[in-house]
Chain A
């Protein structure tokens, strides 16, 4: 893979940029692979990259029904953080954060990882103590966390509403190392690096079924571009997990829900990091191009439509105005939606499936983007060694049967409450 740098950029400029090569090989399917990853989003591509890079397994194909990164990887609000409280989540997300911190050098692609802080505001004593519980858990996992009082929050973000608010801000939980990364670049960076190591990235190839042997084990996939054999098949298809799992006769503890997100017109810098509101679903950051990127809660009903309705649009804007009334003059430029696979405890699944030969990476709810590097790393580890990575041992599918649920919100077995 040709290295990217200011020097290669300048050299190519001199030749009118005519010598750049495709960023990844747009491969055609071969008859079979050692491992097939279904799903060419961030998680699938990261998995393929780490299979090749860390485990030396390069006879791998990533099969994507559309264009890589066209699903949730291209629709999220780019937030990265590792401010989780429960023991099952802490090590995993922190491992992901560490991988983020070295990602650009690892991939030689500028994913614009920017750690300008994630601030969760609290508005009551109860919330403060809940955030203290979480912040202490983070510290015990070796993750940076600070509890700010009102004055400290005011110094950090003076434009927040400290005067006339219905639910006045009392402070916030800050993870300084949290921040954002450019989502498309993450997809393209992993694709480029994986492709250079020999992984076949096969686009416009939709999986329509599984091939099984006499014992019922999965030995390959049927696709719109033919049958492809596989030693192992892993699925990383985000909101479509249930549809693909159903092809193998599996039901999952997952419901697909729409999460809307919004971007404003480009503005000069106003929001320093990521800020989340504590008395309504609202979070916001500002992209390097100047647009305010913000969103709120899922619409709440099952959906594969990748779009939502007006009530959430209003709720989100009300949350924004409640938090920072200066935002009223900013204009929403575009809205879109993704398909979240919401699990029954709000936490992901990285596990073998009950069907031999089929492996699952699913259930990321609305937190998939920040998990991209570790999800890829751990899924690759699982596929390569058939044991879970040490940071992902809790993400078992059978945890719902044993009761070892990882329920950060305490919302219980209702997917749309997480």
Chain B
């Protein structure tokens, strides 16, 4: 056991049991999985992606590239979890990834022997012959070897939620700079949100030994947190990853992996710290080689000696501090190698564990742990999300974001203020000052980058997870991939789960050396969200399963449910599709019955989902004249008219009936799916195109419940329900409408027919809709009233040749639909000019016709294409397609509507419906699309 007898921010009174690869171990509350593994002497925790090299824990933070494990089992399994940031909990089950049969003996490490072949980009140069084998053999093998963790194939059982935060100041990072900034701003009365990814605030102060105002820095941390917690205008979110900066001061964060935060901040301070660089020398990936700050953290924060014989290889004062902190708790480093004195580690030696190091003076020293202090990279990534580029600073040997976007400011180590005093001062200043800078112990931060150890023989790693070595970078340069972007893509450096946090800068430097550029000239990659990986589940939240999109019900929904309706989705609405009765064989039988019942008796359909818009004002009719192809200003009060709207490009946008209730009041209807679009269109017309018109428009789709009552007995039914209303042809002619009162509520009745039968539509305010539908069915009981759904509605409109959604598909013109004569020649309207373009008036265009199979027993399907008889089934002979079909119980066979080239001139011709993807070919006859009652006698009653 490597656990130190005392010390660490762990609770030794709370032991926790966990397992790794099936073996059981113990840790303490406050441990991470990584610190607990190290405490139990487990050094080998993973295998690298390509070569399957043994890998150990490299860091103590979220930049960790190696120690990825899968936790949990079955549907709860979470692959690719970083052991370094996973808080240990009782019962944790973790397993290593990407190895077979075991971590210790991974057969795929044979890849290592082939490593001279498996250099960067090797796969572009091979796997091409024979061609057939790429997909049959090579690629499946590559895919099986790829990836680290595995998804359980089960639905994610976790529950997620979301929250919103608004603040004056967002502070990202609760290290010394962030805590100081939050305190200064909090005391000044600003609304502050302090977000930190660790389980407790403190940042590096939890892992390093410092003094603030003469006491342990941890006391300052505790006091600061206590004061922040007492301020009502300050909120601290721990275990929260601030993953992205977006436009408009919007930020995304995930708390505890389960709650998505959308934060809007007037200003933000990025006190995101810095990440230590590994050094590049042969064997730098052997388990036991770690960053110095990690060695320091495991010892100080978690009371774990990462090894018994520890050496430190440093280019920075921080490495010397690590030595001092270790000595302070009784761990004397075996040796300290300071590159600035000219001494280098040229090789680390070992297989599954570090055994020794070789130095540049030829000495070999036996060690089991090597702490690398390669300098610090300020974590500027978040500040670059909006496109700002960091610049190389020779002074500190790192990239700095000197021009962050407006509203963002860097502080602390993230701004290059590496020493403790400087960091705290920087935080206070970023928050606007107003707080004295406490006295702090000395914390020198000098450093001189060492990008590459020369004469180092063996694999020296730059990107640990993707097995990218220094030689790969040189190879990329040699092959012409001389920009950092190309080098990244060619070598895959920086594309692993750590997104280059430990490797990008080293890689950039090696590329600069290989191409003879300075670091400034070489540039770097822009960081994009998410800063740390964020689960798809939390980003989706509870919009999943049934709750993916809202469900919209009409007022008649409950009644329909009680009466056995089967529902269909129309947009977000649930509409009754049919109402099956016991004993009916299938939907076809049900729907046919509903059609027949309506055409011979009376049927009722809920049509509440159609869009409805109230247009009123002195210029209402003028506006409608400009929107519709036909004229509405001549529409008498108390009358409805069918209207067609075009897009400005001349194609049909939508149709509906519009009723005039007063000189200055119109009631516009739209199709269900276009309701919102037409509302926007009407508002655009009156607010932007013609603001001089005095007209208002209000969406009333949800305000009215509307039912269609259709069939020869429809008038009789309504007479029973509305005995005081004059429903005669004189009082309420076809296409007439009137307002009245029903049981004290405003009601409207329209004599409209989509079915071709004598029919009415009855509308009441939506919250009376349930009452009305029940009253209608009560009134119709003795008349044998039947409810009908969208399928029967569809059958009847096809029988009448009415175009609907399938024909109004955005690719058809008014003429295509047989409505060319509706286009007024007396006025301008939206779409008029473009509708006259040559291709839109070409008579050879596919135009609306009716079809029925020559063999009446044959079924039709929408989506078949049309061919002249005897024509080869190729695109050149394509003459259109079938848009809508149904079985017509009225006629006793299937019928359809289709768009056929030159259609109206071809009635009586026999053509082929070509449907190779389903039923094959069917011979049909082209006919008038109005199959039933072409004279339109029945509607007029």
Contacts and interface: CB of A to CB of B under 8 A. Distances in A.
The reply to whether A and B meet directly (CB within 8 Å) is: yes
Chain A interface category by residue count: 35 or more
Contacts of A67: 483, 485-486
A332 interface: yes
Given A24-B480, A407-B810, A267 B147 contact: yes
A63 to B, nearest CB: 16
Nearest to A102: B131
A151 to B, nearest CB: 15
B107 interface: no
Contact of B536 (A16, A310, A330): A330
Contacts of B534: 331-332
Contact of A327 (B146, B151, B916): B151
**Which has the most chain A C-beta neighbours within 10 Å: B479, B536, B537?**
B536
A266 B123 contact: no
Contacts of B151: 267-268, 270, 326-327, 329-330
B246 A310 contact: yes
A140 B865 contact: yes
A266 B147 CA distance: 4
Contacts of B246: 309-310
Interface string A76-105: 000000000001001100000000000011
Contact of B568 (A124, A164, A401, A409): A124
Interface string A248-273: 00000000000000001111111000
Interface string B573-605: 000000000000000000000000000000000
Nearest to B884: A129
Max count, chain A CB within 10 A of own CB: residue among B244, B480, B497? B480
Contact of A412 (B134, B147, B651): B651
A128 B915 CA distance: 13
B857 interface: no
A310 B252 contact: yes
Contact of A402 (B260, B385, B539, B837): B837
A224 interface: no
Contacts of B496: 266
Nearest to B569: A167
Given A321-B540, A410-B811, A290 B128 contact: no
Contacts of B663: none
Contact of B528 (A133, A309, A335): A335
A67 B480 CA distance: 11
Interface stretch (B74-82, B712-720, B779-787): B74-82
Contacts of A189: 124
Nearest to B158: A328
A139 B927 CA distance: 27
A147 B153 CA distance: 25
Interface in B485-520: 485-486, 489-490, 492, 495-497, 499
A266 B497 contact: yes
Given A129-B862, A265-B497, A402-B839, A159 B153 contact: yes
B91 to A, nearest CB: 19
- Determine the main DSSP class of B at the interface with A: loop
Given A105-B128, A110-B127, A267-B150, A23 B142 contact: no
Interface string B529-573: 110011111011101111111010000000000000000110000
Contact of B810 (A325, A399, A410): A410
A267 B150 CA distance: 5
A116 B540 contact: no
Interface in A123-177: 123-124, 126, 128-133, 135-137, 139-142, 145-147, 158-159, 161, 164-167
Given A17-B471, A288-B139, A335-B528, A329 B148 contact: no
A22 B478 contact: yes
Nearest to B156: A328
A267 B149 contact: yes
A267 B387 contact: no
B117 A331 contact: no
Interface stretch (A29-37, A210-218, A311-319, A378-386): A311-319
A123 B568 CA distance: 11
Nearest to B155: A325
A288 B146 contact: yes
Interface stretch (B10-18, B411-419, B873-881): B873-881
Contact of A328 (B155, B495, B881): B155
Nearest to B260: A314
B386 interface: yes
Contacts of B3: none
A185 B479 CA distance: 14
B485 A321 contact: no
A392 to B, nearest CB: 15
Contacts of B805: 126
Contacts of A290: 143, 146-148
Contact of B125 (A5, A131, A270, A405): A5
A255 B158 CA distance: 41
Contact of A136 (B131, B810, B914): B914
A316 to B, nearest CB: 8
A103 to B, nearest CB: 10
A1 interface: no
A20 B478 CA distance: 7
Given A140-B874, A167-B569, A326-B154, A145 B917 contact: yes
B464 to A, nearest CB: 14
Interface stretch (A6-14, A231-239, A348-356): A6-14
Given A22-B478, A132-B917, A269-B147, A327 B837 contact: no
A139 B914 CA distance: 10
A400 to B, nearest CB: 9
B545 A136 contact: no
Given A159-B153, A290-B146, A184 B533 contact: no
Interface of B: 49, 77-80, 116-117, 119, 122-129, 131, 134-135, 139, 142-144, 146-156, 158, 244, 246-247, 250, 252, 260, 262, 385-387, 471, 475, 478-483, 485-486, 489-490, 492, 495-497, 499, 528-530, 533-537, 539-541, 543-549, 551, 568-569, 647-651, 653, 805-806, 809-811, 834, 837-840, 861-865, 873-875, 877-878, 881, 914-918
24 contacts: A9-B125, A17-B116, A26-B480, A87-B875, A105-B131, A114-B139, A131-B863, A136-B864, A136-B881, A137-B878, A139-B873, A146-B917, A167-B548, A184-B489, A189-B124, A265-B79, A279-B549, A290-B146, A314-B540, A321-B544, A326-B155, A331-B536, A410-B810, A412-B651
Given A310-B252, A317-B536, 10 more contacts: A9-B117, A129-B806, A132-B863, A135-B917, A139-B873, A265-B79, A309-B246, A318-B539, A322-B544, A327-B156
The 5 closest A-B pairs by CB, nearest first: A410-B810, A328-B156, A290-B147, A328-B537, A132-B863
